[in-house]
Structure 1
Amino acid sequence: MDPVDEQLPIPPPFMWACADCTQLLRALAQVIDADAGCFYEQLAVAQHLAHEHTSALPAPHTDGCEQCPRYTIHAEGKPPAGPWAEHLARSLFLHESVARLL
């Protein structure tokens, strides 16, 4: 993989304005820099975004996402919440290929 491709995308400005987001992003970056598993750090950022920044979540994916159609079926017409909201939040701070895994 190209070193540029390995870099995380730059999170949107609202995340840097939030002290909790900043702290969680720094913890994620530290674990990534240490080349350690970062599942729990990713989850912590996604959960925070899903609970505290719901209006900033991206729209459900319509272009080849394997997860969003499954979440849509179970949502019964309700807006994204819980694991689906966390799934959408991941695209704010992870590469699309990684963000859409969960």
Structure 2
Amino acid sequence: MQAVLNGVVVAEAPQSDLLKIEGTWYFPPTSVNADLLVKSPTRYTCSWKGECQYFSVLDGETLLQDRAFSYPAPPAASFARVGQDYSNYIAFWKEVRVSE
């Protein structure tokens, strides 16, 4: 599967390596082009996944605010709900399209 922004592959991995959490695909951190992500100061805490880290995604010269997110240190109790440790897996939204 790929996460693509305007023809540029931001992340790519076999579907079997991804996790689907609440209908959203999460890519393993090693499958993401980290050069296209910039940590965002945006804060959010999920009641069961914990503190979220947002990333802005580079689209050429433009930085698209908060188009990716991750949970760097989710509570261990949440792993049973997801089925495995999903620390640092990265999900995308808005203009970043995920497809096979």
By the TM > 0.5 criterion, same fold? no
TM-score, length basis structure 1: 0.30
Give the number of the structure whose residues are more often strand, by fraction: 2
Taking structure 2 as the reference length, the TM-score comes to 0.30
Structure with bigger helix share is 1
